[in-house]
Structure 1
Amino acid sequence: MNPLLSLLPASKRKGMHARLSQQFAYISSQTGDQRVTSHHSRFTCRYGYGRSAESASMGESGQDFAAVRIHKSVCCFVLCDGVGLSYRGDFAARYLGSSLMGWLEEGRDLSADQLKMYLDRLASAATEELDREPLEHESGFMRSVLEDKRRQGSQSMYICGRIELPNRGTRGRLRLAWQGDSRLRLWNGTEEISELFDHTFSTAERWSTNRGLIGGKPHWYERSIPAEMPMRLQVYTDGLSDLDPIREPVPDEQIQVLLDASHTGGLDDDAAFIELQW
């Protein structure tokens, strides 16, 4: 128990616990792993993060980024997969993810067109921030190579969304946006309806600090949420591709086995995982 709560009378502690459970935030650390963990409120949220074996052994940051924020009946989330062949894909994933979270939480004029304009405008600010990042090599030929690569920009793929649950007989709202090949899966009750998103995932689509959107405008999905319809949303990066054929809920320990990847000597690629149920 929170030590401050223990000082309150039991009747007040119960109310305080209820208020605290309505707010939750998770932001992945790119320099460490996150074991599969759950949060329970009006949403049930599971999340986990694992760096590739190569990144972990060399003490490098992971290229993925994940974040979830819940406030009462509203949940916003982002999942970003930095492009390793670009300059500092870890930077693009973190910068894009943090920026998208702010845009989603503001919650005004959420649409595909508004998101496109926002992401194109975001590129110049990201470039300025990237230019302030120190180069990994101080001098010589390698510095020149890195400077040229930095000018070409840092890139990331992404999935993001905002979920507004039904309140007092009114329907809720689900909004999702994405570019890239990370996994986006949705269930109505026990029926998976992810075929709605077929043929919309491509590594050629991404966001760049240098060019803004690459490969087209964001994919956008929006629908109402009926009060009586339980739903499950699952997003993860390609480091957890072993989940692709599994339609049933997967226990925490089995997801953790995939994140640890001890059976293969570690992950071949970074992996980030978010699952939301309501």
Structure 2
Amino acid sequence: MNPLLSLLPASKRKGMNARLAQHFAYISSQTGDQPLSSHLSRFLCRYGYGRSAESASMGESGQDFAAVRIHKSVCCFVLCDGVGLSYRGDFAARYLGSSLLDWLEEGRDLSADQLRMHLERLASTATEELNRQPLGHESGLMRSVLEDKRRQGSQSMYICGRIELPKRGTRGRLRLAWQGDSRLRLWNGTEEISELFDHTFSTAERWSTSRGPIGGKPHWYERSIPADMAMRLQVYSDGLSDLDPIREPVPDEQIQVLLDASHTGGLDDDAAFIELQW
């Protein structure tokens, strides 16, 4: 049996066998919630999405965006947190996230410098697309204010990565990149090693449709993956900050409680969650 099967509840293991899906794709809907769900292949992937109580009650899109693509032994993922005070943070999160996912899947010349150049080039095409987005039915002073905000650009923070599992006789590769204050956590087996990323998270760092990366250069982390090492990677936006002090694996139902936030009348902020184990 695939060793990752033992990490799933018995109800989810039922019916799973050696013919596990080799391809998987998840893209969050910003107009609805995604209950905590799991996918098992050579990776165990858990993912979920929840809009803030305010966004849900007003029928607005969430500012977060999350996506995962798995093709056999390669997994690419992205989690973006749109900046609400910018113009259409939901647009920036979706546009940036989709582009980063495509860039990671191509897998050519992946490096911090190449990422920076990609994000700088992306700003011009994003601005063109943003300018095509309708302003709505506002007129007069309100329309002038919105036009000015649109000129200043739409912004988003992000975490993204590409995981290449070890093949016979060779090690795998893990690459991660980020700007902003979304959570990025990593475990070797049961030992959390997230201190590797200490002092690299700041709300002043993000990507802008008008300026590209701002507040600093993208942070980049790269390492090999030994064949005999179990690892766990967890990324989530600040709507799930209650997870911050928890170092042990969290059951599905407890993460769902945090996504529902029924104990507090709904989420104070949008929440996106991705966890990968291999």
Shared fold (TM-score, shorter chain, > 0.5): yes
Deviations 1:40-84 (A, max 9, x none): 010000000000000000000000000000000000000000000
Q: Describe the SS at the equivalent of 1:19.
A: coil
Change (3 A) 1:100 1:8: closer
- 1:41-52 correspondence to structure 2 within 5 Å: 41-52=41-52
Change (3 A) 1:214 1:4: closer
Contact 2:4 2:43 in 1 (8 A): no
Corresponding pairs, count: 278
Change (3 A) 1:145 1:164: same
Deviations 1:22-52 (A, max 9, x none): 1000000000000000000100000000000
Contact 2:20 2:40 in 1 (8 A): no
Change (3 A) 1:229 1:144: same
Separation (CA, whole Å) in 1 of partners of 2:125 and 2:8: 46
Contact 2:120 2:213 in 1 (8 A): yes
Separation (CA, whole Å) in 2 of partners of 1:9 and 1:64: 28
1:136 Cα deviation after fit: 2.6
Deviations 1:211-252 (A, max 9, x none): 111011100000000000000000000000000000000000
Separation (CA, whole Å) in 2 of partners of 1:123 and 1:136: 23
1:139 Cα deviation after fit: 1.6
Q: Runs of 5+ in structure 1 lacking a partner?
A: none
Change (3 A) 1:200 1:59: same
Q: Describe the SS at the equivalent of 1:24.
A: strand
Change (3 A) 1:7 1:234: closer
Tell me which moved more, 163-172 or 11-20: 11-20
Separation (CA, whole Å) in 2 of partners of 1:160 and 1:203: 16
Deviations 1:180-219 (A, max 9, x none): 0000000000000000000000000000000111011100
Name the residue aligned to 1:118.
118
1:20 Cα deviation after fit: 6.5
TM-score under structure 2 length normalisation: 0.93
* Large movers: runs of 4+ above 3 Å: 1-20
Name the residue aligned to 2:213.
213
1:21 Cα deviation after fit: 0.2
Separation (CA, whole Å) in 2 of partners of 1:105 and 1:214: 24
1:141 Cα deviation after fit: 1.2
Tell me which moved more, 176-185 or 2-11: 2-11
Separation (CA, whole Å) in 1 of partners of 2:128 and 2:7: 48
Separation (CA, whole Å) in 2 of partners of 1:73 and 1:15: 22
Change (3 A) 1:228 1:211: same
Name the residue aligned to 1:254.
254
Separation (CA, whole Å) in 2 of partners of 1:224 and 1:17: 29
Separation (CA, whole Å) in 1 of partners of 2:127 and 2:215: 19
Change (3 A) 1:265 1:110: same
Q: Describe the SS at the equivalent of 1:85.
A: coil
Separation (CA, whole Å) in 2 of partners of 1:166 and 1:71: 14
Separation (CA, whole Å) in 2 of partners of 1:276 and 1:124: 33
Q: Describe the SS at the equivalent of 2:175.
A: strand
Deviations 1:148-174 (A, max 9, x none): 000000000000000000011210000
Change (3 A) 1:11 1:130: closer
Separation (CA, whole Å) in 1 of partners of 2:109 and 2:258: 38
1:140 Cα deviation after fit: 1.6
Change (3 A) 1:255 1:139: same
Q: Describe the SS at the equivalent of 1:117.
A: helix
Separation (CA, whole Å) in 1 of partners of 2:211 and 2:74: 32
Change (3 A) 1:10 1:36: closer
Change (3 A) 1:165 1:86: same
Separation (CA, whole Å) in 1 of partners of 2:185 and 2:38: 19
1:4 Cα deviation after fit: 27
1:6 Cα deviation after fit: 27
Tell me which moved more, 4-13 or 85-94: 4-13
Q: Runs of 5+ in structure 2 lacking a partner?
A: none
